[in-house]
Amino acid sequence: MARPRLFGRLRAAVLGVVHVGALPGTPRSSLPLAQIIDQACQEAEAYKDAGVDGLIVENMHDRPYTLCPGPEVTAAMTAVGAAVRRLCPHLALGVQVLCAANQQATAVALAAGLDFIRVEGFVFSHVADEGIINACAGNLLRYRKLIGAENIQIFADIKKKHSAHALTADISVAETASAAELFLADGVVLTGTATGLPADPGELREVQHAVKIPVLIGSGVTLENVKNYLDANALIIGSYFKREGYWANGVDPDRVKKFMEHISKLRE
């Protein structure tokens, strides 16, 4: 039976990003886990109060990322995800574990009661700033089946940001999206070339024409350019919702509220 689509009811559902503080064992770690959880919940509450449609929890402060984060990261992200879920029982909630720790993210989502994961390297290999990331769809979907997590939806990045795509230069973004759909992704995520940089609206149209699954925008959405992305199923917004528009700063509630008021009018 097909899973119901998370973002089928709203036009351009807005997902705020909770950037979790540097976790235990990572180079910039300095806070106890309890304080990291409290900070994540404060961000989540600010988003919820501003009226976002969903959230995604991400360990972006764990720089530099590794292709195989340790079990301490999985455990900590589960604790954070569960706390955010208790605080936001009615929002669509997801998780991404950097870098490309997609099985770990699936386990976190299952244990914390989350709805979806954001996946790097679902189809086609590429070279990221963390190293070579190989396609994982076959192993990931088998793992999801094995642990009984088929209710967890998979939204796969295509032509991932912070990456070189010379290995797949002859494969268009639309063809990459079609491959992700063929390999049973629940949706695809289109981004710019780096954090905070906008996706190409022309590529959004190409991808939407190529697939029947939801298409999410994963970087660079602002108050000024959101009109270019209203046909997307969801917008993952991190940098713009932070103070001064910088991802590592705290959430700016006024920015979020102003954005939500604006997009509510555009949806009408």
Q: What digits encode the pLDDT tens for the residues 240-262? A: 999 999 999 999 999 999 999 99
φ, ψ at 204 (rounded to 5°): -60, -45
In a domain, 2, yes or no: no
- Residue 116 falls within a domain, yes or no? yes
Angle between helices 33-50 and 253-267 (to 10 degrees): 40
Instruction: Supply the pLDDT for residue 4.
Output: 59
pLDDT exceeds cutoff 60 at 9: no
- Residue 259 covered by a domain: yes
When divided into structural domains, the chain yields a total of 1
Burial zone of 174 (CB within 10 Å; 0-12 exposed, 13-18 middle, 19+ buried): middle
| 3-state class (DSSP) for residue 119 | strand
For residues 86-101, average pLDDT: 97
Rg of the chain (C-alpha set): 17
Kindly state whether residue 8 falls inside one of the protein's structural domains: no
96-103: average pLDDT: 97
Please report which residue ranges of 88-172 form alpha helices under DSSP H: 102-112, 137-146
Residue 165 forms part of a structural domain: yes
CATH number at residue 22: 3.20.20.70
What CA–CA distance (Å, rounded) separates 140 from 30?
A: 32
Kindly state whether residue 206 falls inside one of the protein's structural domains.
yes
Residue 82 lies in a domain: yes
Q: Is the peptide bond between 64 and the residue preceding it cis, with omega within 30 degrees of 0?
A: yes
Kindly report the number of other CB atoms within 10 A of residue 70's CB atom.
15
Q: Quick check: is 203 in a domain?
A: yes
Residue keyed to tokens 């097909």: 2
Q: Is the pLDDT of residue 136 over 60?
A: yes
- Predicted confidence (pLDDT) per residue in 164-191, tens digit: 888 888 999 999 999 999 999 999 999 9
| pTM of the model as a whole | 0.94
Q: Domain of residue 137: give its range.
A: 13-267
Within 10 Å of residue 134's Cβ, how many Cβ atoms? 11
